[in-house]
């Protein structure tokens, strides 16, 4: 039989507590083997001292009838300590079969109650189960730590790469902008305009990746809320779309639209929602942007377009990189837009919902009028 050892190669530890030396010798002979270290204690206080030195014990076998501190009292102390409360406990007693004792043992946190003389194979089989469980638990903990570290390194890589790409990309964008301004109309000017559009799209992708890193590392995005008029934010977002695209959007504003929000982040929300509606909606139907400030505690923003989202996509619509899987071969982006929209809205303590039926799709965002600022900024 291959006896289990802990995930890091160290022996699995088993604690046996009995005031009779002969019993300790017998238990040690049954349990000790390659990969298993048996810790022996002749009293409750001695067992507690061992528990202070070892916090990775896989199983404890406790004699019930001991002077000074019996097994039940010891079990209560073990269960009362954060470091040791997870240790499985098995009571062993030479007394007669007593149901009251058994019930008291289970109430004290025992997983089993055995009477002497214990059959050697029964004891070793039961112990083997807990040794194996301990090994599996240690292996899972090690795997979780490794994956957590890999995720941290991945996030650092994305953040460093994103920051390092900004400088050359800014130079490309500036050069393309200069060419667009200086070149006469014609093919060179069109090529320069295409370079500029591609550079800006690359910049948007980098910002999306950095936002994902910020969200995962800090549990949300940094907000810098200031007093705003939501309709003014929408007007700026429409202007950034360009005259042709903005001409396909109908803006309807009603009610009190003031509040305290992060203007740049809300601009991202609008840019992503309007961009998706214009790109994926029915081209023969206008995109409708509705702002409703009728409620005193919050405002509501809706982006409505023609066409429906496939039902199988709705449950995963706000998951990161979902768009790359759902639209293979498309070059619209990384599939991060709606994930970031949801993160921005949630950072404002708001909510975003999507309804897609009867030939129309509506994204509805509800924002409290006052968003709390986050304590620190992330570059």
User: The domain 149-218: what is its CATH number?
Assistant: 1.10.287.130
What's the rounded Cα separation, in Å, for the pair 104 and 98? 10
In this predicted structure, the answer to whether residue 288 has a pLDDT above a threshold of 50 is yes
Residue for token pair 């946190």: 109
> Please, is 342 exposed, middle or buried when counting C-beta atoms within 10 Å of its C-beta (0-12, 13-18, 19+)?
buried
Residue-wise pLDDT tens digits, 6-23? 545 678 899 999 988 888
* pTM (predicted TM-score): 0.51
Please give the class, per CATH, of domain 12-118: alpha beta
Please give the class, per CATH, of domain 226-368: alpha beta
Given this model, what pLDDT does residue 258 score?
94
Q: How many CB atoms lie within 10 A of CB 153?
A: 10
Q: 3-state class of 13 per DSSP?
A: strand
Residues of the chain with CATH 3.40.50.2300: 12-118
Q: Hey, CA dihedral for 275, 280, 284, 290, is it positive or negative?
A: negative
Given this model, what pLDDT does residue 137 score?
87
Question: Using alpha carbons only, how large is the chain's radius of gyration in Å?
Answer: 33
Name which residue leads in pLDDT, 174 or 163: 174
Given this model, what pLDDT does residue 378 score?
39
Given this model, what pLDDT does residue 165 score?
67
Name which residue leads in pLDDT, 5 or 69: 69
Q: What is the mean pLDDT of the chain?
A: 81
Residue-wise pLDDT tens digits, 107-147? 776 778 888 888 888 888 888 888 888 888 888 888 888 77
In this predicted structure, the answer to whether residue 324 has a pLDDT above a threshold of 50 is no
- Residues facing residue 305 across a β-bridge: 361
Residues of the chain with CATH 1.10.287.130: 149-218
E strands, 172-312, are 226-229, 249-255, 258-261, 287-293, 298-306
Residue-wise pLDDT tens digits, 194-224? 777 677 667 766 777 777 776 666 666 778 8
């Amino acid at each position: 039989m291959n006896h289990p050892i802990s995930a890091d190669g160290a022996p699995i530890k088993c604690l046996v507590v009995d005031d009779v030396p002969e019993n300790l010798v017998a238990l040690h002979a049954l349990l000790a083997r390659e990969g298993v270290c048996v810790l022996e204690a002749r009293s409750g206080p001695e067992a507690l001292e061992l528990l202070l030195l070892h916090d990775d014990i896989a199983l404890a076998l406790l004699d019930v009838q001991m002077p000074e501190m019996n097994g039940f009292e010891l079990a209560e102390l073990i269960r009362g300590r954060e470091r040791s409360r997870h240790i499985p406990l098995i009571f062993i007693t030479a007394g007669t079969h007593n149901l009251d004792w058994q019930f008291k043992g289970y109430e004290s946190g025992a997983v089993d109650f055995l009477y002497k003389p214990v059959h050697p194979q029964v004891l070793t089989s039961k112990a083997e189960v807990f040794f194996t469980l301990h090994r599996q638990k240690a292996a899972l903990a090690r795997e979780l730590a490794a994956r957590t570290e890999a995720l941290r390194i991945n996030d650092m890589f994305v953040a460093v790469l994103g920051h390092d790409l900004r400088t050359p990309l800014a130079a490309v964008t500036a050069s393309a902008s200069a060419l667009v301004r200086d070149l006469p109309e014609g093919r060179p000017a069109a090529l320069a305009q295409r370079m500029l559009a591609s550079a800006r799209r690359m910049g948007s992708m980098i910002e999306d990746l950095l936002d994902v890193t910020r969200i995962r590392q800090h549990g949300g995005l940094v907000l810098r809320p200031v007093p705003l008029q939501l309709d003014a934010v929408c007007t700026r977002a429409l202007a950034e779309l360009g005259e042709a695209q903005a001409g396909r959007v109908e803006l309807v504003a009603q009610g009190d639209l003031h509040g305290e929000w992060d203007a740049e982040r809300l601009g991202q929300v609008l840019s992503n929602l309007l961009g998706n509606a214009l790109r994926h909606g029915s081209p023969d139907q206008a995109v409708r942007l509705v702002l409703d400030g009728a409620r005193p505690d919050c405002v509501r923003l809706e982006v409505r377009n023609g066409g429906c989202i496939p039902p199988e996509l709705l449950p995963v619509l706000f998951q990161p990189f979902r768009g790359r899987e759902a639209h293979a071969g498309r070059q619209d982006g990384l599939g991060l837009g709606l994930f970031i929209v949801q993160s921005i809205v949630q950072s404002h303590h708001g909510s975003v919902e999507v309804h897609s039926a009867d030939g129309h799709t509506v994204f509805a965002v509800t924002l409290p009028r006052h968003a709390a600022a986050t304590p620190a900024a992330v570059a």
